[in-house]
Amino acid sequence: MLLDQRRDEILQLIERQGFVSLHELVEKLGASESTVRRDLEYLDGIGQVRRTRGGAAYTGEHITPFEERGTASLPQKQRIGRAVADEIESGDTVLLDGGTTTLEVARCLNGKSLQVVTNSLPIANLLVNQPNIELILIGGYLYPRTGVALGPLAAAALTNLRVHRVVMSCGGITEKGLFNSNTLLVDCERQMLDAADEVWVVADSTKFGRTALAHLCSLSTVTRLFTDRGLEERWRRTLEDAGVPVTIVE
69/160 with CB nearer DNA: 69
Are the C-beta atoms of residues 159 and 196 closer than 8 Å to each other?
no
82 contacts DNA (rule: CB under 7 A): no
Cβ neighbours of 34 (radius 10 Å): 9
Give CA separation, 131 vs 90, 113, 128, in Å. 13, 8, 8
> 228 φ, ψ to 5°?
-110, 180
**Pattern 45-64, binding to DNA, x per CB under 7 A?**
------xxxxx---------
157/192 with CB nearer a copy of itself: 157
Considering only residues 14 through 33, tell me which ones interact with DNA, judged by CB under 7 A: 21-23, 31-33
Q: Which does 176 bind (CB under 5 to 8 A by kind): a copy of itself, DNA, none?
A: none
Kind and range of the H or E run holding 123? helix 121-127
51/112 with CB nearer DNA: 51
DSSP 177: E
Q: CA–CA separation, 208 vs 159, rounded Å?
A: 30
13/213 with CB nearer a copy of itself: 13
Stretch of 37-45, 126-134, 169-177, 192-200 lying at the interface with DNA (CB under 7 A): 37-45
User: How many residues at the interface with DNA, by CB under 7 A?
Assistant: 20
The burial of 147, by beta-carbon neighbours within 10 Å (0-12 exposed, 13-18 middle, 19 or more buried), is given as middle
Judged by the rule CB under 7 A, the positions of this chain that interact with DNA are 1, 3, 6, 21-23, 31-35, 37-39, 41, 51-55
